[in-house]
Amino acid sequence: MKLVYDKEIKISNGIKVFPVEVTADKDLSVKVQIEGINSAVCYNCFISDFKGNKFEQSVELIEDKSQNFWFSVCDAGKGNICVYSDSGELLQKEDITVVKTDAKCENPFEDIYSLNRLAWINSDRAIDNEVTKPYIPVSYINNSVKILGRELQFNALGLPKKIVSNFNQGIKICDEQTQILSNDIEFLVGEEKFVNTKTTAQTFNDKVIYTAINKSENFELEVTSQVEFDGFVDYKLTLKCVKDTIVDDIKLTLPIDDKCLKYFVGLGRKGGKFNHSVDWKWSEEVNQDCFWVGNVNAGLKVKFKGENYVKPYVNIYYNHKKLNKPESWDNNGRGGITFADGIFTAYSGKRSIKSGKKLCFDFELIITPLKEIDLKKQLSMRFFHTMFDSDTWLERAKKGGANIINVHHGNDLNPYINYPFFEIEKLSEFIKDAHDSGILVKLYYTIRELTINLPEFKIFRDLGYEMIAKRNITAESHLWQGDAKQWIIDNVGNDVIPAWRQPLKGVKYKDEYDASVITEGQSRLCNFYVEGLNYLVDHADVDGIYIDDVAYDRNTMKRVRKVLDKKEKAYVDFHQWNHLVEPGGMGNCANMYLELYPYVDKCWIGEGFDYDEPADFWLVEMSGIPFGQMSEMMNTANQYRGLLFGMTNRLAWESNKSTPEIVWKIFDRYNLGDATLTGWWDNSLKVNSSNEQILVSKYTVEDKIYLAVANFSNEIQETEIIVEDTPNCTLYAPNIENFQTEQSFNGKISLDGGKGLFLILKNQKD
C-alpha cells in the first residue's frame, strides 16, 4: 500500500485541509485516520450526516487505483496516519507533523480558495429542539398533542383518534374546531385483534415521540409517532410475526369528515374539487406516494413510505432517481389506495408471513393549514426579480416600487449557481446600498444544481457520489440545453448528471459560462449549505434566500429557517415548476413541497402552470392558501384572477408582458394590507354570483368593502352579484389605468373572457 501526502502540514489560519492519496495493491475496504492529533478529521470516513447522526464508514479501494482521503486539522502536533481494514487490522502507519506558523486569520473561512470550508460538511448547526417562528412549543397532556392551531389525540393503539383544526377559512386561528377525521385511523391485519401492552411519551420543545406496543394472537405491532410543532407527523409501524400465518390483507383506513372531503390533490390527479373516487396502484414510473384531502381550513396530507424510501430527484431529473415502491405497502403489486364511503384505504393484499418476519408500514401526516396568513405582510412583499444587468437593479426597483430584490445567479453579483461566494464584497456593498434605500436583498441559494467552479469540486468528486449525484445511464435525459450536457460529459465525466449551463452577463464575467451538475439533497451537502447561509447572513447581511425546486427535505429547511430567524426580518421565497408532466414524474408540487411550507414566506408557483385552469385548481395547486401559505404568479399570468387570491406577478421578470405595479397600487390606494380577505371559497362570504364562471372575493377594511371579481372562462359571461349584508347596493368600478375604466353597476355585470373588476360598494369613496 502506498501513501502520498505532505509529511509536514503548516497551519497559518486556524485550520488546514489537505489530502492523503492511498493506493492499494488489491481491492480493499478501509478506514483512514490520523492518530495522536486530536483535531484531525477524515471526511471520507467520519460522518455527521444532514440529520446530525454521527458514524464511521469504510471506503472501497480498487486495486492500483489511487483514492484521496481528505483531512482537516487545527492543532499542532506529531501523529500517525493509520489505515485500517474493516476488521480493525492496522494495514499501514506513517508519521505526520502539524506545525503552526505566525500568520493569523480571524476567520479561517474567509479565503474562498483555501478549502478550509470543507469542515462545513460535518456541521450540525441548527440541529436542535428549538421552535422556529411563528410556531409555539408542543403541548402534550393525556394522550393529546396540541400545536399551533391544531390538535391530535391518540387512541389505545397509538394511532390518531382525533385530528382537529382551529383555523377558519380566512386562515386565522379561531375558537371553533373542525374535525378532520370522522373516526379513528385504523391499522388492520386480517382478523387480528390487537391489545395495547405499553405506551410511552417523550416530550420536547419541538415534538412529542409517542410509542405504543400492541399484541395479537399472531403479531406484535410497534407504533411510534413523532408529532412536530409545524404539523408534521411521522408514523413508523413495525409489524412482527410471532407465528406462521396467512392474512387476507393488511391495510390502513383513514375516515375523513364530510366537511374535509371538498378538495383533493395527488395520485396523478390535478388539484381541485374532489370527485370522491380513487382507485390507484403503485408504480416507480411516477413520483406519486401521497395525497392531500381537505377543505381550506382543515386538511390532511398522507404519504406512504417503506424502509427502502429514498427521496426522488425533482424537476426534469426524476428518471435519474425514481421513487422506490414501499415494499410492505406494495406487496409485489397487490397494494394500492382506494376511496369509498368517506374512507381512504391503503391496502397491501394477501400474503403469507413467517414467524420472526418484520414488515414496516410507515406513513406521514401533515395537518393543514400550517400557520396563519398575515395579509399585511404578504401584500407588502414587492419583488424585483431579473437575471442580468445587476448594476441597474437598485434604481429600477426603487422606480417600480419594489422593496425586495432577488439576486439571481449568472451576473456580476452572483455569477455561479448556489456557491461559491466569489463576489461577497461586491454583494455586501450592494446589500448595504439597498438597505440604505429601504430595500431588502435575497440571494438565489438552493440545493439541486451546483457549479463546477467551486474550489471544493474535486474534493466532492473524491467523496464518490455522496454529494455529486450519480447519473442513471439508462435514464432518458430531458435537459433542454444540449450543449450543457455534452460540455459536462467532455469536461467533468459521463457519470454525473448535467444540469444548468449559464452564459454569464455583466462586466467582469461577460462571455464566460457557468456549468453545473445535479447534487444529492439528502447528504452532507446540506450541512455545507446551512453553514454557507450562516456565512452569508453574517458577512453579507443577506435578508433571506430564493430557492428553486429545492432537492432537500424539511430537516434542512428547518435549519435554514433557524439561521434566518436570527435576523429580525428575513424571508424564504420558493419557486416551483409544474411537475405534473412525464419528465417530472407526474407529481404535484402541493404534495412534494408541502413539508417545506411551514418555513417559507412566499411561493412563486407558476412555471408550467396553466392560468386558464378552473378556480378550484388555482386554490389548491397555485395559491397556497389551504396550507397557510400565499403565492405569486409567474410571467404575465392573469391579474384579475390573481387579485381574488392576493396574487401578483413580479417586477422585471423577463417573460412578463404586464407589470405588478398596477395591482400594487390597488393594494396601497385602498389599504388592502389592513383588510380581511374573505375569499370566494369561504363559507362566511355574503356575496353571491349567479354565474359559477364569475367568482368574487371580498376585502373588508374597517367599514369599507371592496370586491375582486374575475371571469374564469375565456368567453363573455354575465352575472348578477348580490351582496347579502348590503342589499340594493351599487357597485362602483373606479378608474384604474391599464386595469379598468370607471363605471357603476346595479348588480348585473358582463365580463369578457379572462377579465375582471375591482369594485367599491356605493357611497364609499376611494
Mean pLDDT to the nearest integer, 670-690: 97
Judged by DSSP in three states, 7 sits in: coil
Whether residue 390 is predicted with pLDDT greater than 50 in this model: the reply is yes
Please say whether the beta carbons of 744 and 730 come within 8 A: yes
Instruction: Find the helix or strand (DSSP H, E) in which 543 lies.
Output: none
Q: Please state whether the peptide bond connecting residue 369 to the residue before it is cis, i.e. omega within 30 degrees of 0.
A: yes
Judged by DSSP in three states, 664 sits in: helix
Q: What are phi and psi of 265, to 5 degrees?
A: -150, 140
pLDDT bucket at 469, cuts 50 / 70 / 90? very high
pLDDT tens digits, one per residue of 131-163: 999 999 999 999 999 999 999 999 999 999 999
**Beta carbons within 10 angstroms of residue 474's beta carbon:** 7
Share of the chain above pLDDT 90, in %: 91
pLDDT at position 22: 98
Mean pLDDT to the nearest integer, 236-241: 98
Nearest to 329 by CA among 300, 312, 307: 307
Q: Which three cell numbers stand for residue 109?
A: 473561512
pLDDT tens digits, one per residue of 610-661: 999 999 999 999 999 999 999 999 988 999 999 999 999 999 998 888 789 9
- Alpha-carbon distance of 47 to 566, in angstroms, equals 27
Would you mind telling me the total number of residues written for the chain in this entry?
Answer: 766
Angle 107-108-109 (CA atoms, 0-180°, nearest 5)? 90
Whether residue 464 is predicted with pLDDT greater than 70 in this model: the reply is yes
Could you tell me the sign of the dihedral formed by the alpha carbons of 283, 287, 290, 296, in that order? negative
pLDDT at position 635: 87
Judged by DSSP in three states, 459 sits in: helix
Mean pLDDT to the nearest integer, 738-760: 95
Judged by DSSP in three states, 113 sits in: coil
pLDDT at position 727: 75
Sheet holding 498-503, edge to edge: 449-451, 513-518, 498-503
Whether residue 105 is predicted with pLDDT greater than 60 in this model: the reply is no
Mean pLDDT to the nearest integer, 442-460: 96
Please say whether the beta carbons of 655 and 304 come within 8 A: no
pLDDT at position 103: 61
pLDDT at position 306: 94
Paired with 244 in beta bridges are none
Q: Which three cell numbers stand for residue 258?
A: 364530510
- Alpha-carbon distance of 154 to 221, in angstroms, equals 15
Mean pLDDT to the nearest integer, 244-272: 98
pLDDT tens digits, one per residue of 545-569: 999 999 999 999 999 999 999 999 9
Going through 318-403 in order, the beta strands assigned E by DSSP cover 336-340, 343-347, 351-353, 358-360, 362-368, 383-386
- Alpha-carbon distance of 641 to 717, in angstroms, equals 14
Give the single-character DSSP code of 217: S
Sheet holding 676-678, edge to edge: 676-678, 694-701, 704-711, 756-761, 731-733, 743-745
pLDDT at position 502: 87
pLDDT tens digits, one per residue of 355-385: 999 999 999 999 999 999 999 999 999 999 9
Contacts of 670 (CB under 8 A, 6+ apart): 699, 701, 704, 706, 760, 766
In order, the DSSP letters of 74-112 are -S-EEEEEEEEETT--EEEEEEEEEEE-S---S-TT--T
Please say whether the beta carbons of 375 and 363 come within 8 A: no
Sheet holding 67-73, edge to edge: 2-4, 16-23, 67-73, 41-42
Mean pLDDT to the nearest integer, 487-515: 91
Please say whether the beta carbons of 319 and 344 come within 8 A: no
Q: Which three cell numbers stand for residue 13?
A: 489560519
Q: What are phi and psi of 263, to 5 degrees?
A: -125, 155
Determine the residue type at 52.
G
| Domains in the chain with CATH codes | 2-122 (2.60.40.2550), 139-368 (2.70.98.10), 678-761 (2.60.40.1180)
Q: What integer best gives the mean pLDDT of the chain?
A: 95
Q: Please state whether the peptide bond connecting residue 660 to the residue before it is cis, i.e. omega within 30 degrees of 0.
A: no
Whether residue 208 is predicted with pLDDT greater than 60 in this model: the reply is yes
Whether residue 183 is predicted with pLDDT greater than 70 in this model: the reply is yes
pLDDT bucket at 766, cuts 50 / 70 / 90? very low
- Alpha-carbon distance of 586 to 578, in angstroms, equals 9
Give the single-character DSSP code of 619: I
pLDDT bucket at 690, cuts 50 / 70 / 90? very high
Whether residue 579 is predicted with pLDDT greater than 50 in this model: the reply is yes
pLDDT at position 2: 96
Mean pLDDT to the nearest integer, 686-713: 97
In order, the DSSP letters of 161-186 are EEEEEEE-TTS-EEEEEEESBSS--E
The residue with cell 378550484 is: 616
- Alpha-carbon distance of 162 to 182, in angstroms, equals 8
Whether residue 765 is predicted with pLDDT greater than 60 in this model: the reply is no
The residue with cell 346595479 is: 746
Judged by DSSP in three states, 592 sits in: helix
Q: How many CA atoms lie within 13 A of 307 on its CB side?
A: 8
pLDDT at position 763: 66
Q: How many CA atoms lie within 13 A of 309 on its CB side?
A: 18
pLDDT at position 595: 98
Whether residue 419 is predicted with pLDDT greater than 90 in this model: the reply is yes
Contacts of 36 (CB under 8 A, 6+ apart): 77, 78, 79, 80
Q: What are phi and psi of 294, to 5 degrees?
A: 165, -175
Integer-rounded Cα Rg, in Å, for the chain is: 28
Helix H segments across 401-524?
424-436, 457-462, 482-491
How much is the pTM?
0.96
Long-range contacts formed by 308-313: CB under 8 A, 24+ apart: 309/362, 310/522, 311/521, 311/522, 311/551, 311/553, 312/287, 312/585, 313/469, 313/518, 313/551
